[in-house]
């Protein structure tokens, strides 16, 4: 088994997923103009980014042991080619569109982003159990290293889009097409490698045992916490450029997003050992830093100096860095019998929570301003601090945190 190549292929596929988010935001305006649709209609076309993504994560959790990780990984790459192909081939309307499904072009747009949403979910549904399997002795560490390439892809996609605009005045079609480069790379890699069975299958854990893990109290608590950690991490990210533009008008708000994404990349890549040594303690500290960082950002007033704004953003950026991969890692380490199913349930919960959090934050911004929205989410940090603090004491009373190990055995 080529463990390092499998890990690299997983990282490249996560970069592809992340680049979709970054580049899609950059081309939204030109696409709206080209297809003569409103921002609301454009938002509807982009909506599969959340719910199709979530559906695919849930489905892959149940299918990955049946059809194999390689088949789903290959299918996810093909999906990017199909999805982007549908978007690029969509005919442009000659007049404003009343409803997106009344014109072939806008219908194909929706279908294309729906297929891409499925591909993004399949990637997440495959690479998490794959890395947990090939690094079964260091799951949390390598899941953090893997998920460093989520912010890495945001930085790559965002800076690439800016460079293509400024240096080439590139069309939105060309920008969208760049996503196919990493998709082609990991497709070739997936087709030329052998994938192992998941850890659960290799250990001969039955499907019934796997589903039984979903009823464990600790998993249910982690599942609830995932809704809060994902909302605290990704919800503010979506509003960051808009919020920071108003607070620090002398700088582009997107720079703060790129800055915190860069922090996250560095910490997950080079600081993954921190989360590996003490996952619950890491989540506890991250909850404190995230809550304080968001509250500080929410208290800033228009005209705030860039130094103060970056200091608050740094606190938030460091705090949120370990949330997602460490939550997945703890789940994989404490419930290896739950296999890909439990990992996928956690990922799906995280994506759904963002879909719920975004309109709540938007309404808060409309009613009370951006600061109030950030401070509202900061409250999740306070709740999580209490929960993870209690969880830390629970494990300490049992002799400390230890990963549950499965052994490969014959049926």
Write the CB contacts of 295 (distance below 8 Å, at least 6 apart in sequence).
374, 375, 378, 381
The answer to whether 275 and 282 have CB atoms below 8 angstroms apart is yes
Provide the percentage of residues in the chain whose pLDDT is more than 70.
95
Does residue 154 sit in helix, strand or coil? helix
Residues 19 and 94 in one domain: yes
Please give the tally of structural domains in the chain: 2
| Cα–Cα distance, 399 to 408 (Å, whole number) | 26
| pTM, 2 dp | 0.87
Confidence of residue 342 (pLDDT cuts 50, 70, 90): very high
**pLDDT score for 32:** 86
Structure tokens at 206: 């039955």
| Cα–Cα distance, 241 to 395 (Å, whole number) | 39
Domain-terminating residue out of 197, 212, 229: 197
Provide the percentage of residues in the chain whose pLDDT is more than 90.
52
Structure tokens at 85: 């192909």
Domain-terminating residue out of 154, 171, 197: 197
- 3-state helix, strand, coil split of the chain in percent (to 5) is 80, 0, 20
Least confident of 71-75, 361-365, 371-375: 361-365
Confidence of residue 24 (pLDDT cuts 50, 70, 90): confident
Residues 382 and 259 in one domain: yes
Residues 210 and 191 in one domain: no
Residues 210 and 172 in one domain: no
**pLDDT score for 241:** 66
- For the stretch 237-274, pLDDT in tens is 767 666 676 667 666 666 777 788 889 999 999 988 88
* pLDDT greater than 90 at residue 207: no
- Of the candidates 175, 163, 154, 179, the residue with the CA atom closest to the CA atom of residue 31: 175
Residues 31 and 175 in one domain: yes
**pLDDT score for 367:** 87
Confidence of residue 2 (pLDDT cuts 50, 70, 90): confident
Residues 58 and 76 in one domain: yes
| Cα–Cα distance, 282 to 287 (Å, whole number) | 9
Residues 172 and 227 in one domain: no
- For the stretch 300-330, pLDDT in tens is 887 778 888 889 989 999 999 999 999 999 9
Q: What is the CATH number of the domain that holds 216?
A: 1.20.1250.20
Q: Which domain holds residue 369?
A: 202-411
Confidence of residue 145 (pLDDT cuts 50, 70, 90): very high
Structure tokens at 379: 């409250």
Residues 5 and 45 in one domain: yes
Residues 240 and 375 in one domain: yes
Structure tokens at 260: 């915190």
* pLDDT greater than 80 at residue 407: no
**pLDDT score for 333:** 93
Confidence of residue 31 (pLDDT cuts 50, 70, 90): confident
- The residue to which tokens 């690094």 are assigned: 135
Domain-terminating residue out of 166, 197, 228: 197
The answer to whether 345 and 58 have CB atoms below 8 angstroms apart is yes
The answer to whether 83 and 58 have CB atoms below 8 angstroms apart is no
Structure tokens at 324: 């997602």
**pLDDT score for 1:** 60
Residues 138 and 55 in one domain: yes
**pLDDT score for 254:** 64
Across the range 130-139, mean pLDDT stands at 91
* pLDDT greater than 80 at residue 85: yes
**pLDDT score for 411:** 39
User: CA angle at residue 341 from 339 to 347, to 5 degrees?
Assistant: 115
Write the CB contacts of 404 (distance below 8 Å, at least 6 apart in sequence).
333, 334, 335, 336
**pLDDT score for 28:** 79
Residues 187 and 215 in one domain: no
Residues 121 and 226 in one domain: no
């Amino acid at each position: 088994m080529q463990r390092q190549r499998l890990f690299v292929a997983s990282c490249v596929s996560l970069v592809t997923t992340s680049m979709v988010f970054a580049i899609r935001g950059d081309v939204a305006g030109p696409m709206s103009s080209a297809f003569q649709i409103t921002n609301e209609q454009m938002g509807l076309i982009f909506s599969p980014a959340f719910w199709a993504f979530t559906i695919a994560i849930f489905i892959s959790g149940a299918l990955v042991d049946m059809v194999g990780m390689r088949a789903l990984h290959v299918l996810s790459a093909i999906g990017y080619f199909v999805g982007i192909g549908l978007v690029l081939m969509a005919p442009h309307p000659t007049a404003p569109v009343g409803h997106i499904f009344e014109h072939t072009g806008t219908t194909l747009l929706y279908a294309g982003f729906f297929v891409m949403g499925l591909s993004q979910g399949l990637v997440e549904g495959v690479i998490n159990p794959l890395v947990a399997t090939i690094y079964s002795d260091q799951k949390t560490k390598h899941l953090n290293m893997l998920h460093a390439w989520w912010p890495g892809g945001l930085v790559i996609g965002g800076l690439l889009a800016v460079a293509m605009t400024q240096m080439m005045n590139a069309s939105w079609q060309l920008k969208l097409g760049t996503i196919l480069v990493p998709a082609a790379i990991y497709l070739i890699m997936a087709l030329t490698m052998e994938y192992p069975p998941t850890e659960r299958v290799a250990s001969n854990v039955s499907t019934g045992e796997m589903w039984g893990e979903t009823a464990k109290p600790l998993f249910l608590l982690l599942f609830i916490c995932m809704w809060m950690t994902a909302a605290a991490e990704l919800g503010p990210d979506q509003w960051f450029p808009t919020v920071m533009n108003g607070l620090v008008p002398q700088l582009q708000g997107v720079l703060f997003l790129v800055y915190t994404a860069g922090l996250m990349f560095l910490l997950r890549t080079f600081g993954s050992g921190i989360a590996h040594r003490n996952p619950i303690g890491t989540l506890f500290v991250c909850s404190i830093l995230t809550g304080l960082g968001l509250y500080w950002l929410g208290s800033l007033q228009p005209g705030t100096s860039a130094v103060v704004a970056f200091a608050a953003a740094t606190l938030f950026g460091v705090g949120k860095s370990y949330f997602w991969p460490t939550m997945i890692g703890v789940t994989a380490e404490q419930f290896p019998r739950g296999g890909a199913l439990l990992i996928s349930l956690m990922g799906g919960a995280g994506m759904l929570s963002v879909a719920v959090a975004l309109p709540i934050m938007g309404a808060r911004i409309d009613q009370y301003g951006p600061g109030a929205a950030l401070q509202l989410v900061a409250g999740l940090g306070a709740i999580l601090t209490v929960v993870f603090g209690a969880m830390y004491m629970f494990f300490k009373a049992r002799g400390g945190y230890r990963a549950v190990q499965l052994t490969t055995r014959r049926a």
